[in-house]
Every structure is written in C-alpha cells, then in structure tokens.
A = this chain, B = another copy of it.
Amino acid sequence: MRKPTLTLVLSTVLLAPMSFAADKRSEAAAESREGIFEVIRMYFGPVLGMVRGQIEFDGQVVSHNATKISQLAAMIADAYRYDTSDTDVETEALDAIWDNIEDFNEKAAALVSAADNLAVAGAADLAATRQAFGAVGQSCKGCHDDYRQQD
C-alpha cells in the first residue's frame, strides 16, 4: 500500500490545479533524491582516490567523509517515500523501487552500516580502509543493479 507523505500533502495544499501539483511534486522528489547522491559522490571521491593510491591516505578525511555518507544514506528512505512510478518525471529510479520498497530500504540501511564501518576503518589504516571501502562500493552496486536505470 502506498501512503501519501507529508510533503505530498503539503504540495497538494500549496499548489493547484492538482495535475500541476503532481508534476511539480514529482520533479521536486526526483531532485531531492538526486541531491542526496550528488553529496554522497562529493564525499566518496577523495576516499576513492586514496584507495586507488592516487592521493595520500588521510584517515581523518576517510572517517569524516564516511560519517557524512552514513548520514546521507540514512536520508534515502525519506527521499523515496514519494512514489513517482506513475508519473513521467525524468529519473533513473526504476519503478521496481516502489514494488519492493522494503528491500530497497534494507539496501539503503546496509549502506549506512557499510559507511559506518568505513568510518571506523579510516581510524585504523589504508588496508582496513580499502576493505571497508570495497564493501561500500558493493553496497552501492547491489542497489544500482536492481533499482537504477542501466546506461
């Protein structure tokens, strides 16, 4: 069952007519979702560079960035509460998300855990960071395989 979110309720109050409201709401939802992943990318990049040996290892940066990724991953479930599968909004999000929302949210929760582990690993050394970073990457990939449009 799909229940309306508070933000949906808000939009239908603020915007009229309804069809216009639905489009604006879908676009806003897609932008919020993309926003989360843009910020995750910002924090992911430097750690990727360290793991690849392209930039010097800095455990404090790893832990800082991983903590932010964990916080952002914990926002994913909120951002996907609004179901845009019946709209024509431009998005890479597959309709399968809302057909399997519990699985989707579990995968998002798994990213929170993987990022938390990476934050701990950063305080150790590069070897631990590499291992924990691999798990974060697998977590991303596992969800993208099922729920993101393939190029």
The interface-forming segment of A31-39, A110-118, A136-144 is: A31-39
Q: Is the CB of B61 within 8 A of A68?
A: no
Given contacts A35-B36, A42-B32, A71-B71, contact A49 B79 (CB under 8 A): no
Q: Is the CB of B42 within 8 A of A28?
A: yes
A35 to B68, CA, bound (A): 14
Interface residue SS majority, chain A: helix
Chain B residue nearest to A79 (CB atoms) is: B42
Q: Is the CB of B41 within 8 A of A32?
A: yes
A1-42: which have CB < 8 Å to B?
5-7, 9-11, 13-14, 28-29, 31-32, 34-39, 41-42
Chain B residue nearest to A54 (CB atoms) is: B13
A28 to B44, CA, bound (A): 12
A39-87: which have CB < 8 Å to B?
39, 41-43, 45-46, 48-49, 54-55, 58, 61, 68, 71-72, 75, 78-79
A7 to B39, CA, bound (A): 12
